[in-house]
Amino acid sequence: LIGSWCIPFYKDYFGNVKYSATIKTRDVDFLVPIPLETKIKADIPKLLKDLGFIINFKGSEGYIRLEHPNLIVEFLVPEKGPGSDKPYKLPHFGLNAQPLRFLDLLIEDTMKVKIEGIEINLPHPANFAVHKLIIFQRRTKEEKIIKDRNAAIEILRALIDKGEVAAIRRVFNSMIPKWQKKVIKGLEETKERGILSILTV
């Protein structure tokens, strides 16, 4: 699980540290690692049909998404090489997925949480926050810019309060210089000098 639905699931991780876990989106995003290592086959649209989900298509490219009155479920894969607008086929799951940049960052370090008996993989909060710092700069809608930027800063502050400065540095130092520059630019735009100083010492 990636995207904004991770935010409330980090609450237990932060424990008594000040952390706001509000969420205001219907979009539920799942990241599928490539290459796909599982041999399990499951027709996900068919499985979710009984729960009221229907297949819809996003954009002219034909990305499949599963829609419900309360939720929209989408599947993503890390974009490789020069990139492509074409959907990435996932025949194992009866789906296709949208390739997007920077998603590799979210699977470099993951954690497991158990929600109502179901185990879910999430990006480590440091990876999640640094990723948000990059993508808010690529947004075109002001609402999404503000949402992603605020989520990144909220989680980074919580990590610092929890004593996990090293985790933030680890993620930053693992990135190629081009990505590091994007993170620095994002922090400069937010005027978060305290967080910026952690990465530029």
pLDDT for residue 40: 85
Strands 27-31 and 72-78: parallel
pLDDT for residue 58: 85
pLDDT for residue 190: 86
Give dist(CA 176, CA 91) in Å, integer: 32
pLDDT for residue 55: 95
Low-confidence residues of the chain, pLDDT below 50?
none
pLDDT for residue 56: 94
Give dist(CA 164, CA 198) in Å, integer: 11
pLDDT in tens, 95-114: 999 999 999 999 999 999 99
pLDDT for residue 14: 93
What beta strand segments (E) does 53-143 contain?
54-58, 63-67, 72-78, 88-90, 95-100, 110-115, 118-123
